[in-house]
């Protein structure tokens, strides 16, 4: 087992290719081993393909994790299990494409269920990127009490909650993650949801997104959204 950090969103990577940990055992395994990390990723195989199975730190399974997908890709590369510059793997949100050039670019799951939403007087957009997000534009993201307001809205919507600020040439995003039940340093599906709404309004094809854990890069190509950012191993085997 080894820890990976994708812009500060942290995961324990568990080689479960021999299926030693069963589906039923996974939630308890997660709660017993996650420590202070945000989630656990079981690395598995379905036929010849690698499969990413993501769990939040509270033991809940999630359909997808954008930063997890970047960490999973780096893990496959570090293990020497993939050597190509383009490869795919499976997730509960479908097949994920990965391209390596100036970093690891992951093609995110298609955005769906986009709608305007008002909860307790807070207006935003509900957007699904494999997992649900309630995104809210604010004037100054640093002034938001993410723990308090994020937690409240997360429970009202059963979604991750992202607060974003549109700045000159970049976006700033902070996320309260369901299942982690606190603010995380970065959320890949969250910044994708924000970028999608921003792109729909402005047509902008590329965007830098500042998050507490650094900078993420988003780009749109033929209606598909790609995500890149920092990813590194944070423990020895």
Enzyme catalytic residues: 65
Residue 74 sits in the site that holds ligand LBFN2T5F (CB under 6 A): no
Stretch that binds ligand LBFN2T5F, among 110-118, 147-155, 177-185, 208-216 (CB under 6 A): 177-185
- Whose Cβ is closer to ligand LBFN2T5F: residue 119's or residue 169's? 119
CB of 83 to ligand LBFN2T5F, least distance (A): 25
Among 178, 185, 198, 228, binds ligand LBFN2T5F (CB under 6 A): 178
- Whose Cβ is closer to ligand LBFN2T5F: residue 157's or residue 189's? 189
CB of 190 to ligand LBFN2T5F, least distance (A): 6
Among 10, 16, 67, 91, binds ligand LBFN2T5F (CB under 6 A): 67
Stretch that binds ligand LBFN2T5F, among 15-23, 147-155, 178-186, 214-222 (CB under 6 A): 178-186
Q: Are strands 9-15 and 39-46 parallel, antiparallel or unpaired?
A: parallel
Among 30, 131, 197, 216, binds ligand LBFN2T5F (CB under 6 A): 131
Among 179, 212, 213, 229, binds ligand LBFN2T5F (CB under 6 A): 179
CB of 87 to ligand LBFN2T5F, least distance (A): 20
3-state secondary structure the chain: CEEEEECCEEEEEEECCCCCCCCCCHHHHHHHHCCCCCEEEEEEEECCEEEEEEEECCCCECCCCHHHHHHHHHHHHHCCCCCCCEEEEEECCEEEEEEECCCEEEECCCCEEEEEEEECCEEEEEEEECEEEEEEECCCHHHCCHHHHHHHHHHHHCCEEEEEEEECCEEEEEEEECCCCEEECCCHHHHHHHHHHHHHHHCCCEEEEEECCEEEEEEEECCEEEEEECCEECCCC
CB 120 within 8 A of CB 156: yes
Task: Specify which residues 129 forms β-bridges with.
Answer: 131
Residues that bind ligand LBFN2T5F (CB under 6 A): 9, 56, 62, 65-68, 131, 160, 177-180, 184, 187-189
């Amino acid at each position: 087992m080894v820890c990976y950090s994708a812009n500060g969103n942290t995961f324990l990577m568990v080689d479960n290719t021999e299926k030693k940990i069963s589906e039923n055992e996974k939630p308890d395994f997660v709660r017993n081993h996650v420590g202070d990390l945000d989630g656990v990723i079981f690395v598995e195989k379905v036929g010849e393909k690698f499969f990413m199975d993501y769990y939040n730190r509270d033991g809940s399974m999630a359909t997808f994790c954008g930063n997890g997908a970047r960490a999973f890709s780096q893990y496959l590369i570090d293990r020497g299990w993939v050597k190509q510059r383009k490869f795919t793997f499976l997730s509960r949100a479908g097949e994920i494409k990965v391209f390596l050039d100036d970093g690891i670019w992951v093609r995110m799951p298609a955005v769906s269920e986009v709608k305007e939403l008002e909860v307790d007087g807070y207006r935003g957009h509900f957007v699904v990127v494999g997992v649900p997000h309630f995104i809210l534009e604010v004037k100054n993201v640093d002034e938001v009490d993410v723990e308090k307001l994020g937690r409240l809205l997360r429970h009202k919507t059963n979604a991750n909650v992202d607060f974003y600020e549109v700045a000159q040439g970049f976006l700033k995003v902070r996320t309260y993650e369901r299942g982690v039940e606190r603010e995380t340093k970065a959320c890949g599906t969250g910044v994708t949801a924000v970028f999608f709404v921003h792109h729909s309004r402005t047509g902008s094809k590329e965007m830098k997104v500042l998050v507490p854990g650094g900078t993420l890069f988003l780009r749109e190509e033929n209606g598909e959204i790609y995500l890149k950012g920092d990813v590194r191993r944070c423990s020895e085997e």
